[in-house]
Chain A
């Protein structure tokens, strides 16, 4: 089944404790992206990647890191999480840049 998977789905952590949210797609998509969803703001792009080893900042990249060492994986790293990063995070992928993006199931992160 073609899909985007994220792990973990739920995470509660404390300020400053490094964490990684994994994202994987099995559709051989070139483009992958991370968004965060906050009430009243819709979804905003954090980082994106057009291909392996090619990543760039979206609209709200502060406090996040990403890497794209393999085509299928695009982990999101929070090196020192803060409470304002409490949010619902979505990974998305598309075949190429202008194609429809398909989203993972979301990761609900709470930073205390």
Chain B
């Protein structure tokens, strides 16, 4: 069965520190997608990134970077020089493939990141 584990429930850092959020997934499928979403205190879910299982290239977007390693079934998210505005709950998710256009996201439990001034 598909599963996403975010072992870090809460992380607290001081501004400008680098922080890595871990995500480990389980799937028997060879084709799948991985996602990160951000949920700020206001509650909405903001899409950050999607990665397909055939693309292991790491990605960088400003202060955000993602490290995808199929060998360890991990898709970790690093924030460089964290800022107070990064304080949020971050969810990692796996898209469970199915026939006919079905699309279910399997979410991890989330990691709450608190960045203090």
Contact with A along B31-52 (1 / 0, CB 8 A): 0010101000001110100100
| Contact B101–A98 (Cβ < 8 Å) | yes
Q: What bracket does the count of chain A residues touching chain B fall in? A: 20 to 34
A30, B47: Cα distance in complex, Å: 19
Using a CB-CB cutoff of 8 Å, which residues 52-110 of chain A contact chain B? 58-59, 88, 90, 92, 94, 96-106, 108
Say yes or no: is B100 at the interface (Cβ < 8 Å to chain A): yes
Say yes or no: is A21 at the interface (Cβ < 8 Å to chain B): no
Q: What bracket does the count of chain B residues touching chain A fall in? A: 20 to 34
| Contact A42–B100 (Cβ < 8 Å) | no
When distances are taken between beta carbons in the complex, the residues of chain A under 8 Å from B93 are: 43
When distances are taken between beta carbons in the complex, the residues of chain B under 8 Å from A48 are: 102-104
Q: Given A98-B95, A98-B97, A100-B50, are A42 and B104 also a contact pair (CB < 8 Å)?
A: no
A96, B100: Cα distance in complex, Å: 10
| Contact B44–A45 (Cβ < 8 Å) | no
A99, B107: Cα distance in complex, Å: 16
What number of residue pairs across chains A and B have CB atoms under 8 A from each other?
Answer: 65
Q: Given A97-B100, A97-B102, A97-B103, are A42 and B45 also a contact pair (CB < 8 Å)?
A: no
A92, B47: Cα distance in complex, Å: 11
When distances are taken between beta carbons in the complex, the residues of chain A under 8 Å from B100 are: 50, 97
CB distance from B109 to the nearest CB of A (A): 5
Q: Given A41-B109, A42-B108, are A50 and B47 also a contact pair (CB < 8 Å)?
A: no
CB distance from A90 to the nearest CB of B (A): 6
Contact with A along B90-117 (1 / 0, CB 8 A): 0101010110111111011110000000
A94, B50: Cα distance in complex, Å: 13
- The residue that A102 contacts in the complex, of B47, B98, B102, B109, with Cβ under 8 A, is B47
Q: Which residue of B lies closest to A98 (CB)?
A: B103
When distances are taken between beta carbons in the complex, the residues of chain B under 8 Å from A58 are: 104
Chain B positions within 8 Å of A, measured between CB atoms, are: 4, 33, 35, 37, 43-45, 47, 50, 91, 93, 95, 97-98, 100-105, 107-110
